[in-house]
């Protein structure tokens, strides 16, 4: 029989403040439904994809409306969760005293290879339960971008897969397009 200890966001923040995780500065953690989990270290394809998404986001998101965050936390206190999406477009606010909350999210992106089942399953359900309207998974094995929208009762009702040769636009900014080929660095050496 195994027993797990679940934490609240406030307890997790107290542990961070007290330096509980300080002996592991290179270890990324996120809390999902009160469970503190290690985040799998990224491999070169994952890192390269995040770099490309960072360039695209900074070059295209309106600077006076969007704060681009890379692998930083999102607070979901109602669900005892503090995930760290790979790329997030947030409303412009001062986040020095609090994490962004679901109401601040304009777009969340996860880059997935070994984490694909988790990002499609538990993490998608978490984001849907939090009311995140625009959630993308960069699916490295299948070279596509999965777009999840219309959250209802903890599930996304709409999911589209955008393939090579196509593009996708954030709900909040439909005039901004991301070319799927660009994400997978096709033609770039």
pLDDT of 27 strictly over 80: no
pLDDT of 22 strictly over 90: no
pLDDT at 111: 98
pLDDT at 74: 98
pLDDT at 25: 66
Cα–Cα distances (Å) from 69 to 24, 131, 151, in that order, read 22, 19, 22
Residue 1's pLDDT band, with cuts at 50, 70 and 90, is low
Residue 189's pLDDT band, with cuts at 50, 70 and 90, is very low
Calculate the average pLDDT of the chain: 93
Which range (26-35, 105-114, 132-141) has the least confidence? Answer: 26-35
Residue 4's pLDDT band, with cuts at 50, 70 and 90, is confident
- Give the integer Cα–Cα distance in Å for 135 and 156: 9
List, in sequence order, every residue forming a beta bridge with 109; answer none if it has no partner.
Answer: 87, 136
Q: Which domains does the chain have, with CATH numbers?
A: 41-183 (3.90.1570.10)
Average pLDDT over residues 101-106: 98
Residue 174 C-beta-side C-alpha neighbours within 13 Å: 1
pLDDT at 102: 98
Helix (H, G, I), strand (E, B) or coil at 107: strand
Report whether 134 contacts 155 (CB < 8 A).
Answer: no
pLDDT in tens, 109-132: 999 999 999 999 999 999 999 999
């Amino acid at each position: 029989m195994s027993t797990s200890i679940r934490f609240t966001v406030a307890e997790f923040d107290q542990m961070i403040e007290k330096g509980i995780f300080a002996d592991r500065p290179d270890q990324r953690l996120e809390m999902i439904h009160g469970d503190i989990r290690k985040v799998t270290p990224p491999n070169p394809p994952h890192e390269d994809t995040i770099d490309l998404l960072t360039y695209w986001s900074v070059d295209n998101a309106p600077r006076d409306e969007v704060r681009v965050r890379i692998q930083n936390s999102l607070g979901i206190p109602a669900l005892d969760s503090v995930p760290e999406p790979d790329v997030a477009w947030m409303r412009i606010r001062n986040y020095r005293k609090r994490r962004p909350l679901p109401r601040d999210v304009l777009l969340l992106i996860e880059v997935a290879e070994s984490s694909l089942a988790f990002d499609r399953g538990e993490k998608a359900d978490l984001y849907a339960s939090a009311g995140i309207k625009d959630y993308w998974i960069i699916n490295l094995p299948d070279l596509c971008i999965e777009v999840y929208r219309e959250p209802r009762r903890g599930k996304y009702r709409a999911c589209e897969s955008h393939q090579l040769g196509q593009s996708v636009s954030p709900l909040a900014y439909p005039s901004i397009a991301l070319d799927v080929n660009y994400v997978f660095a096709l033609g770039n050496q």
